[in-house]
Amino acid sequence: MIDLAMHMMDIVQNSLRAGAEKVEIDLIENSRGHTLLFRVKDNGSGMDGETVKRLADPFFTTRTTRKVGLGVPFLKMTCEQTGGRFTAFSEEGKGSVVEAVYRTDHPDCLPLGDTAGYLALLLRANPEIRFRFTCRIDDAEFILDSGELKEQGIDLQHPQMLGAVREYIRENIKEIYRKQPSHGFLCM
């Protein structure tokens, strides 16, 4: 995976396979501490303790269509390459939380990638799921909640909305990153 958007899509797909009805995605940067927290939290079926322990093993997967699972191990590897850390929490029947902390002052820090494009696709392809996306740098924050958009009468399934929603997300993320201090390797 070459950027955080690809990791986001992969981890969210795990949440969807686990039957989640609500998925929270966070990108929270602390510019003074040179860290970026990437977190996906869901209310899916959750995992037992043994599964959580084996989550970062590339030769372990709960899927029956293949014998390896590389998404989580790659996420762990990319954040640890920057001096960051990976953690996963889960409880059966209550959901899961996957967190990767990246050091943004390290040259191996991944770019954000097309976060807006992937997020718009997730919203369009999964109308029954409530997504909450938070992008924050220090005090600047953008939150998108698909449930709130639906309550406002926005039809995320309308064919012309995909591009509009993608641009709305992209512009808000750009606005936050314009305020980012110039140091660090994290980029869009």
Whole-number Å distance between alpha carbons of 80 and 188: 20
The pLDDT assigned to 187 comes to: 59
Whole-number Å distance between alpha carbons of 66 and 147: 34
DSSP-derived secondary structure letter, 83: T
The pLDDT assigned to 18 comes to: 92
The domain segmentation of the chain, as residue ranges, is 4-178
Asked if 2 contacts 118 with a C-beta cutoff of 8 angstroms, the reply is no
pLDDT in single tens digits along all 188 residues of the chain = 689 999 999 999 999 999 999 999 999 999 899 999 999 999 999 888 777 677 666 665 665 554 445 678 899 999 999 999 999 999 999 999 999 999 999 999 999 999 999 999 999 999 999 999 999 999 899 999 999 999 998 888 888 888 999 999 999 999 988 876 665 656 55
pTM of the predicted structure, to 2 decimals = 0.89
Q: Which CATH number fits domain 4-178: 3.30.565.10, 3.30.460.80, 3.40.50.150, 3.30.230.80?
A: 3.30.565.10
The pLDDT assigned to 68 comes to: 44
The pLDDT assigned to 73 comes to: 86
Whole-number Å distance between alpha carbons of 104 and 83: 9
Residues comprising the chain, all counted: 188
The pLDDT assigned to 141 comes to: 94
- Reading phi first (left if > 0) and then psi (alpha if -120 to 50, else beta), residue 180 is in beta
Whole-number Å distance between alpha carbons of 3 and 10: 11
